[in-house]
Structure 1
Amino acid sequence: MADDKDVLRDVWFGRIPTCFTLNQDEVTEREPEPFYLLLPRVSYLTLVTDKVKKHFLKVMKQEDVEEMWLEYEGTPLKWHYPIGVLFDLHASNSALPWSVTVHFKSFPEKDLLHCPTNSVIEAHFMSSIKEADALKHKGQVINDMQRKDHKQLWMGLQNDKFDQFWAMNRKLMEYPTEEGGFRYIPFRIYQALNERPFIQKLFRPVSAEGVPHTLGDLLREMCPSAVHHEDEPKRYQVVIHGIEPMLETPVQWLSEHLSHPDNFLHISILPTPSD
């Protein structure tokens, strides 16, 4: 059971200072001021950028406006990835504020999913939680909840209400003591320079002998190149929520404390910055 409330709070309230500017080709009459926002790491771009949209629409001609999408240095930002994951993958070694470009034209159909309403984000979010619970508890916990409980999880995230969210989410983080952890750890490993979306396979938190598996064990099995050996230069950083956890950390603890609200542990493998 997740008992370290401070860690959960720190994760929830992680913020990324961000500067939004309108794509130069789309400026019609007068160039709008940039818009600054502290983005919650655990949320989704399309859930928290209404103010950004309103700010830039003031200077746009109605006929020029299609679906808003965001890009960083030429890379369209996938709204269905948590904000913190996008930042860690694309910009973690850049200076703050994070500089994001806003577009209202030429939606990149090949790169992004459409997101016309918040109900699309809600459906994506709930399906992630259900998938995570299928891995952890064969789906029993989420299926035993009522519709209003599911809604509480969503509203907690949407309205940035830590207590509202965790009052329900803690049930998804429980497991029988004798089992020593979940059935499987819901995780996704992203590699910054890899075209593949992410690695996601079955991984138990405890070995057949009852020994807790660590983050290092997980990486050695799923992404061996990310594990640093003493006799060679460090090539990669392993980042969760913008920090590098020790490889000795048990994956069960990480899953309980550093998962995103979708109940997945999102792990980014980044090239070590060159001096």
Structure 2
Amino acid sequence: MTTSDIITRVWGGVLHVKFQLDPVLATEECPFYYATLYRNSFLHSSLADLVQFYKPHLKDPSLGETPNWWFEFEKVPLKWNLPIGLLYDLTTTDSQAEKQAWELTLRYHDYPVEYVIPIEPNTNFLKSYWINQLKEACFILNGSSKLVMNMSRTETDEFYQAAIHKESVQYETAFRRLLPSNISSLKNIPIKIYLPLSNKLIQPVIANVGRKLTLGNLLQSLIPDLFPSSLMYTVAHPVSHGVVLPIDSPVVDLYICMKSLDAFLHISIRMIQKSDLD
């Protein structure tokens, strides 16, 4: 399978989602909203359609004009700034994953500010966040954010629209401008590793970037308790876009193929269950 094939599959991955409106907000007969959403996207990209659907069923229709909606899964608030697929991988267990649809609740009151970044009204918060992430990724890759800062407004808008509308070819064309011409010139790789059963996030600083550095080497150096071997998984699995990543994969290649729309490679660590070893 070629790099292009893997990138196409990453952008094409989907989740089936079943939304319900918070009963506190809803009239008595309120339907569910079913959607098939791309893993490599943000939940709030669908918010306008969702609120429009539920507007006739709101006890207070004026809520449909305000921005502070948030999503919840089994009483866990979901962070709007993380890709949908990552949220799913971080919050679901194997038994929950067997369900036909991911069941989420749309809420408004009691915004969980201690856990979810507040949304500023009258701003394109998703675009602003995405641009800031792109600048950070560019700085990690090159030691400077100038390549993003020097983009024209039109170039930035087209890049963002390609990310949001899943135009993978256009996105990859724009993204390649952020990479140095030679892999050996990479300063670091934008990676975020999410540990299980905690809110701990690791952003590794990779001193020797090159194709010889494998995922197994990286994980063993960062989290030896969970990855005592660089040759096989015995305690935990690294997952990205719902896929267990091969331990012998070069980290550079994984980044190129498996990065998310915010230009970071997100890896969630899942403990290996006994059933996985049978």
Q: TM-score, normalised by structure 2?
A: 0.86
Q: Distance in 2 between matches of 1:42 and 1:112?
A: 19
Instruction: Please tell me whether the aligned partners of residues 68 and 104 of structure 1 are also in contact (alpha carbons under 8 angstroms).
Output: yes
Matched with 1:17 is 16
- Count how many residue pairs are aligned between Structure 1 and Structure 2: 265
The one-letter code of the counterpart of 1:184 is: N
Q: Distance in 2 between matches of 1:117 and 1:257?
A: 35
User: 92, 97, 103: which one pairs with 2:107?
Assistant: 103
Give 3-state SS (helix, strand or coil) of 2:24's partner.
Answer: helix
- How far did 1:268 drift? 0.1
- How far did 1:229 drift? 4.6
Matched with 1:254 is 254
Single out whichever of 103-112 and 78-87 deviates more from structure 2: 103-112
User: 148, 153, 160: which one pairs with 2:154?
Assistant: 148
Matched with 1:71 is 72
Percent identical pairs in the alignment equals 25
Alignment of 1:187-226 (within 5 A): 187-196=191-200, 198-204=201-207, 206=209, 212-226=212-226
Q: Distance in 1 between matches of 2:209 and 2:117?
A: 36
Q: Distance in 1 between matches of 2:102 and 2:251?
A: 30
Matched with 1:87 is 88
Give 3-state SS (helix, strand or coil) of 2:147's partner.
Answer: helix
Moved over 6 A (4+): none
Give 3-state SS (helix, strand or coil) of 1:192's partner.
Answer: coil
Matched with 2:142 is 137
- How far did 1:82 drift? 1.0
The one-letter code of the counterpart of 2:199 is: E
| 1:121 paired to 2:126 | yes
Q: Which string of whole-angstrom CA distances, capped at 9 and with x for unpartnered residues, describes residues 218-245 of structure 1? A: 1112222331559x99332210110011
Matched with 1:171 is 177
Q: 1:205 to 1:4 in 2, by over 3 A?
A: farther
Instruction: Please tell me whether the aligned partners of residues 64 and 104 of structure 1 are also in contact (alpha carbons under 8 angstroms).
Output: no
The one-letter code of the counterpart of 1:248 is: D
The one-letter code of the counterpart of 1:85 is: L
Instruction: Please tell me whether the aligned partners of residues 71 and 106 of structure 2 are also in contact (alpha carbons under 8 angstroms).
Output: yes
Instruction: Please tell me whether the aligned partners of residues 14 and 41 of structure 1 are also in contact (alpha carbons under 8 angstroms).
Output: yes
Single out whichever of 36-45 and 90-99 deviates more from structure 2: 90-99
Instruction: Please tell me whether the aligned partners of residues 21 and 35 of structure 1 are also in contact (alpha carbons under 8 angstroms).
Output: yes
Give 3-state SS (helix, strand or coil) of 2:57's partner.
Answer: coil
Instruction: Please tell me whether the aligned partners of residues 182 and 252 of structure 1 are also in contact (alpha carbons under 8 angstroms).
Output: no
Q: Distance in 2 between matches of 1:241 and 1:159?
A: 18
Q: Which string of whole-angstrom CA distances, capped at 9 and with x for unpartnered residues, describes residues 41-81 of structure 1? A: 11111112322221222210226736211000110000011
Q: Distance in 2 between matches of 1:267 and 1:255?
A: 10
Q: 1:59 to 1:265 in 2, by over 3 A?
A: same
- How far did 1:9 drift? 1.0
Q: Distance in 2 between matches of 1:205 and 1:265?
A: 18
Q: Distance in 2 between matches of 1:233 and 1:167?
A: 35
Instruction: Mark the runs of 5 or more structure 2 residues left unpaired by the alignment.
Output: none
Q: Which string of whole-angstrom CA distances, capped at 9 and with x for unpartnered residues, describes residues 86-105 of structure 1? A: 00000252123111111122
